[in-house]
Chains A and B, each alone.
Chain A
Amino acid sequence: MALNTASFAVFFAVFYAVYALVLSRPRHKLVALVAGGLSFYAAAGIEHVPLLLLSLAISYGFGLAIERARADRARRRRRLLLGCTLSLGLLAVFKYTGFVTSTLDAALETLGLAHALPALRVVLPVGISFYTFQSVSYLVDVSRRARPAERDLLRFAAWVTFFPPLVAGPIVRARMFLPQLEKLSPPEWLDVRRGILLFALGLAKKTVADLVAPTADALFRGASSASTLDAWTGLLAYAAQMYGDFSGWSDMAIGCAAVLGFALPRNFDLPYLSASPVEVWSRWHISLSTWLRDYLFWPLGTRHPYRSLIVTWTLCGLWHGASWMYVGWGLYWGVLIALTHWLNAHLGERVVPRAAVVVQLPLTFYLWLVGLALFGAATPGDTLRIVASTVRGAQPSVLDAAAALSLAGVGLALVVPHAVDWLVLRRPAVAERAPILWGLALAGLVFSIAFGEPGQQFIYWRF
């Protein structure tokens, strides 16, 4: 069930009525959270509920097992390794089986052994990447003694199955969320207001994403014949679509959680106003990039930091999708981030004058667009053609009225969501004044009702 559907509106109204109006005992509320989460997940495919429960059981059981081995470091590490392997194994089986067999098959075909392997089609359970990452972070945290293992199975299950971020994030760590489940304190009205605003704005962002999606699709479909204007319009549309789609989902999830009385981590912080690749990833999908830092980059070691960075980001690419294009995309960002750190280390930040931000901002955004060309194109050749078209198109650009209207629309789709987010994030005192807050929420709803097609798929559901 996606957050932009009429079904979710009904589900949430019923759930909220039961959770906040009917139930008063904390244990009952926890039961409601688990039941609500499982129903929410079952709506996306009831056949995958056992997998969620299995993942829950693995992380719960191994969390306790790791804690019991507190005194024995080697045993603790073995248990951590086994728990993580089992959790990530589920992810690997469901997400990468097809990728591995098709890659092996291609390799065998090259050796003249065509069709040596049977074609395997495994349906990817929605949200598996997100709850697997949460489980791994929990096991590592318990092993590092960053938090004790959770003994209360009901509370643990309420965290794993908490529905707003369940299928597409943000990734919510146990140490942030379990303490909230212990208190289960009612929300402040200010938080609820903020939650309603975020939900309405998220819905509007998703609507923006859906409106510009055809423009982006047109570029990726006709990569070989794009003019410079087509390439720029299409890539800017894809940038607006990606931001609207994913930050829209995150806002809606954070908003829902706030209405229920829970705080989730912020996942986006004006990423298109970044001045370097490192900064981009401290502002985009923050819960993933900090997860990668804490649970992949640090364990890989800092003796060879650039190598660790490249490996981390290549794996991040693979996490995004089981295809070599995503691996290439991750490698691209790994190299860029490593290069930025290397430049900072060797040239020093002092040599870069403040005014350079005028160049850094558009340059970083261009690098982002190149990354999007890798992310969205079907083949490396298409990516190269699109990137080349941003400089010299396959056809001459014709800036007629229709093209100008399309470019203006895409420009608005990029600027307006960022401008509104800037107000909400950087000027909260202004954004939370009643007339502005309710005005923005109403505008978001009006825009979404008028132009949004409910039920449009979210891009990050695929991951």
Chain B
Amino acid sequence: MTPHRRIALRTFATALVLLTLASLVVRAATRAVEARNPGSDVWGTARVEQALEALPVVAARDETQVLLFGSSNLQNNLQREALEAAWSAAGARATALNFGFGGIDGEVQRLLAERVVEAYARHGHRLAVAVLELDPSFLTTRRSSGPFARRYDQFQAIVSGPRDFAAAIARSPEHGVRIAAYRIFLGGISPAAITARASGVLRARFLPHAPDTTMPQAWRLAMARAAEAERRAEPAKRYWALERDGFPPASPELEAALADAARVPLPDSFFEADVRFREECCDAVDMRIDEEALSAFILAVRDLAGISRRAVLFVSPPNRAFLVSPPEAEARLAAALARVSEETGVALLALPGSETLGREDYLDSSHLNVFGARKLSTELGAALAPLLLAAGSG
């Protein structure tokens, strides 16, 4: 063997050892930080990871299931009890599965749908009904290329399978290799998330908690009670708890505290700031749709409709007191919905009652408070009941 080859082999071996050691150290350090700070789910990746872990168990159950698949609007805006009560009143019985996830995009939705389909195909089970939420802010050009675009990479690293990594590398070697590296070296967490986590830990340790004085005192007290009640309801914080099928924890104390918070009128400036943030991150007002993201969402809808007896498209009602889109943006949304519907054969579920939701029903520009969530869940439950009965779940 030539000296150059000997040195090259030694270099490769050294680089491999160094990289392996470095990633092991980083993973161990990240886990240690997580273990010491169990409440921190940076950017929502833990909820996705836990949902994927739970998926084989959920798919193996022999029961009538309704899959609610979408954004943080579904994650937060729906109450399981209200949904199931509405079904029960109509003579239908089903389990609601909350697959609403915040902070992802159309491509991650497509990959998530693939994982769901694989899990159900393994057991030969089908969903009774799939409610597929189109959140326009997930599908905008700004979301794909804006300031938070890199965040979706770590979700992609978590939900991708080997074929998805290969496809991503073929599409864009830089992007594909990066997400593969996140998965291999960091277990799916991006360095930006680690930085955010570390800075959160540093801030918690060194910076005194400053109460947000722009918010009413009664609201802050109620939210503090809610946080305590949530901790009591679920001491070991889980983001996608199997026994709640992905719905947030519930307890009378928690509900009472959240209701107290919801009764406090919030200042306009709070809602306006939230609209500005959503505009900046994901073009929530003008909704300029990214064709690639929309195509990915269409694939997700097609996949999930394929394992469901009935499927419907759904759009969460925004807080129209603050999040007002111009007519051309509404037209863009309507065109996107029409295209999804046309290419998948899945119709839009109309909820006329959701139009009556007022600013007092919202906790920001798109998420509902407990009162709004109850109204929407009851109406959605009633609208889904005939589909459930038609799917044979009486």
Chain A interface residues toward B at CB < 8 A: 5-7, 9-10, 13, 16-17, 20-21, 24, 186-187, 189, 192, 196, 200, 211, 259, 261, 401-402, 405, 438, 441-442, 445-446, 449-455
Indicate whether B236 reaches chain A with its CB closer than 8 angstroms: no
Of B22-30, B126-134, B353-361, the stretch lying at the interface with chain A is: B22-30
Residue in A16, A446, A452 whose beta carbon sits within 8 Å of that of B8 in the complex: A16
Ranked nearest first, the 3 interchain pairs of A and B with the lowest CB-CB distance are: A20-B8, A186-B4, A6-B177
B12: which A residues are within 8 A, CB to CB?
A: 13, 16-17
Indicate whether B64 reaches chain A with its CB closer than 8 angstroms: no
A259: which B residues are within 8 A, CB to CB?
A: 11
Closest CB of chain A to B18's CB: distance in Å?
A: 6
- Scoring A7, A13, A261, A455 by chain B CB atoms within 10 A of each residue's CB, the highest score goes to A7
Other than the given A16-B8, A196-B18, A449-B22, 4 more pairs (CB < 8 A) read A7-B177, A21-B5, A446-B29, A449-B186
- Scoring B8, B19, B21, B190 by chain A CB atoms within 10 A of each residue's CB, the highest score goes to B8
Closest CB of chain A to B103's CB: distance in Å?
A: 17
Known contacts A7-B173, A445-B18, A445-B22; A401 and B207 CB within 8 A of each other: yes
Q: Is the CB of A196 within 8 A of B14?
A: yes
Q: Is the CB of A9 within 8 A of B177?
A: yes
Closest CB of chain B to A401's CB: distance in Å?
A: 5
Nearest CB in chain A to that of B150: its residue: A453
Q: Is the CB of A6 within 8 A of B181?
A: yes
> How far is it, in angstroms, between the C-alpha of A17 and the C-alpha of B207 when the chains are bound?
50
Nearest CB in chain B to that of A10: its residue: B177
Q: Is the CB of A401 within 8 A of B8?
A: no
Nearest CB in chain A to that of B185: its residue: A449
Q: Is the CB of A450 within 8 A of B26?
A: yes
Indicate whether B213 reaches chain A with its CB closer than 8 angstroms: no
A21: which B residues are within 8 A, CB to CB?
A: 5, 8-9
Q: Is the CB of B26 within 8 A of A211?
A: no
Q: Is the CB of B4 within 8 A of A442?
A: no
Q: Is the interface of A mostly helix, strand, loop or mixed?
A: helix
Known contacts A449-B23, A449-B185; A20 and B7 CB within 8 A of each other: yes
> How far is it, in angstroms, between the C-alpha of A24 and the C-alpha of B198 when the chains are bound?
48
Known contacts A187-B7, A211-B195, A451-B194; A442 and B18 CB within 8 A of each other: yes
> How far is it, in angstroms, between the C-alpha of A32 and the C-alpha of B30 when the chains are bound?
40
Q: List 22 A-B contacts (CB under 8 A).
A: A9-B177, A16-B11, A16-B12, A20-B5, A20-B11, A24-B5, A186-B3, A186-B7, A187-B4, A196-B14, A196-B18, A211-B195, A405-B206, A438-B18, A446-B29, A449-B22, A449-B23, A449-B186, A450-B194, A453-B150, A454-B181, A455-B178
Q: Is the CB of A455 within 8 A of B22?
A: no
Q: Is the CB of B7 within 8 A of A442?
A: no
Indicate whether B2 reaches chain A with its CB closer than 8 angstroms: yes
Closest CB of chain B to A404's CB: distance in Å?
A: 8
A17: which B residues are within 8 A, CB to CB?
A: 8, 12
Nearest CB in chain A to that of B3: its residue: A186
Closest CB of chain B to A375's CB: distance in Å?
A: 25
> How far is it, in angstroms, between the C-alpha of A200 and the C-alpha of B194 when the chains are bound?
19
Closest CB of chain B to A92's CB: distance in Å?
A: 32
A401: which B residues are within 8 A, CB to CB?
A: 206-208
Indicate whether B231 reaches chain A with its CB closer than 8 angstroms: no
Residue in B10, B180, B195 whose beta carbon sits within 8 Å of that of A451 in the complex: B195
> How far is it, in angstroms, between the C-alpha of A15 and the C-alpha of B103 when the chains are bound?
38
Q: Is the CB of A441 within 8 A of B18?
A: yes
B173: which A residues are within 8 A, CB to CB?
A: 7, 10
> How far is it, in angstroms, between the C-alpha of A455 and the C-alpha of B4 when the chains are bound?
31
Nearest CB in chain B to that of A11: its residue: B173
> How far is it, in angstroms, between the C-alpha of A449 and the C-alpha of B25 when the chains are bound?
10
> How far is it, in angstroms, between the C-alpha of A151 and the C-alpha of B18 when the chains are bound?
42
B191: which A residues are within 8 A, CB to CB?
A: 449-454
Q: Is the CB of A402 within 8 A of B181?
A: no
Q: Is the CB of B178 within 8 A of A196?
A: no
Closest CB of chain A to B76's CB: distance in Å?
A: 29
Nearest CB in chain A to that of B9: its residue: A21
Residue in A187, A451, A454 whose beta carbon sits within 8 Å of that of B178 in the complex: A454
B26: which A residues are within 8 A, CB to CB?
A: 446, 449-450
Nearest CB in chain B to that of A445: its residue: B22
Q: Is the CB of A453 within 8 A of B25?
A: no
Closest CB of chain A to B141's CB: distance in Å?
A: 20
Indicate whether B57 reaches chain A with its CB closer than 8 angstroms: no
Nearest CB in chain B to that of A454: its residue: B178
B18: which A residues are within 8 A, CB to CB?
A: 196, 200, 438, 441-442, 445
> How far is it, in angstroms, between the C-alpha of A5 and the C-alpha of B172 when the chains are bound?
13
Indicate whether B32 reaches chain A with its CB closer than 8 angstroms: no
> How far is it, in angstroms, between the C-alpha of A102 and the C-alpha of B7 when the chains are bound?
54
Q: Is the CB of B177 within 8 A of A192?
A: no
Nearest CB in chain A to that of B207: its residue: A401
> How far is it, in angstroms, between the C-alpha of A113 and the C-alpha of B67 when the chains are bound?
66
A6: which B residues are within 8 A, CB to CB?
A: 174, 177-178, 180-181
B177: which A residues are within 8 A, CB to CB?
A: 5-7, 9-10
> How far is it, in angstroms, between the C-alpha of A126 and the C-alpha of B177 when the chains are bound?
23
B180: which A residues are within 8 A, CB to CB?
A: 6
> How far is it, in angstroms, between the C-alpha of A187 and the C-alpha of B4 when the chains are bound?
7
A442: which B residues are within 8 A, CB to CB?
A: 18, 21-22, 25
Residue in A5, A196, A454 whose beta carbon sits within 8 Å of that of B11 in the complex: A196
Indicate whether B35 reaches chain A with its CB closer than 8 angstroms: no
Known contacts A442-B21, A453-B192, A455-B174; A20 and B208 CB within 8 A of each other: no
Q: Is the CB of B2 within 8 A of A192?
A: no
Q: Is the CB of B4 within 8 A of A20?
A: yes
Nearest CB in chain B to that of A189: its residue: B7
Q: Is the CB of A405 within 8 A of B202?
A: yes
A453: which B residues are within 8 A, CB to CB?
A: 150, 190-192
> How far is it, in angstroms, between the C-alpha of A192 and the C-alpha of B3 when the chains are bound?
13
Residue in A13, A187, A402 whose beta carbon sits within 8 Å of that of B207 in the complex: A402
Closest CB of chain B to A195's CB: distance in Å?
A: 9
> How far is it, in angstroms, between the C-alpha of A192 and the C-alpha of B5 when the chains are bound?
13
A16: which B residues are within 8 A, CB to CB?
A: 8, 11-12
B22: which A residues are within 8 A, CB to CB?
A: 442, 445-446, 449
B208: which A residues are within 8 A, CB to CB?
A: 401
B185: which A residues are within 8 A, CB to CB?
A: 449
A211: which B residues are within 8 A, CB to CB?
A: 195
Indicate whether B60 reaches chain A with its CB closer than 8 angstroms: no
Indicate whether B15 reaches chain A with its CB closer than 8 angstroms: yes
A452: which B residues are within 8 A, CB to CB?
A: 191
Nearest CB in chain B to that of A259: its residue: B11
Nearest CB in chain B to that of A261: its residue: B4
Q: Is the CB of A192 within 8 A of B181?
A: no
> How far is it, in angstroms, between the C-alpha of A189 and the C-alpha of B12 when the chains are bound?
12
Q: Is the CB of B7 within 8 A of A196?
A: no
> How far is it, in angstroms, between the C-alpha of A16 and the C-alpha of B194 when the chains are bound?
31
B8-60 contacts to A, CB under 8 A, are 8-12, 14-15, 18-19, 21-23, 25-26, 29-30
> How far is it, in angstroms, between the C-alpha of A30 and the C-alpha of B177 when the chains are bound?
28
A13: which B residues are within 8 A, CB to CB?
A: 12, 15
> How far is it, in angstroms, between the C-alpha of A24 and the C-alpha of B5 when the chains are bound?
9
> How far is it, in angstroms, between the C-alpha of A7 and the C-alpha of B150 when the chains are bound?
16
B171-230 contacts to A, CB under 8 A, are 173-174, 177-178, 180-181, 185-186, 190-192, 194-195, 198, 202-203, 206-208
Nearest CB in chain A to that of B180: its residue: A6
> How far is it, in angstroms, between the C-alpha of A367 and the C-alpha of B150 when the chains are bound?
37
A189: which B residues are within 8 A, CB to CB?
A: 7, 10
Q: Is the CB of A445 within 8 A of B19?
A: yes
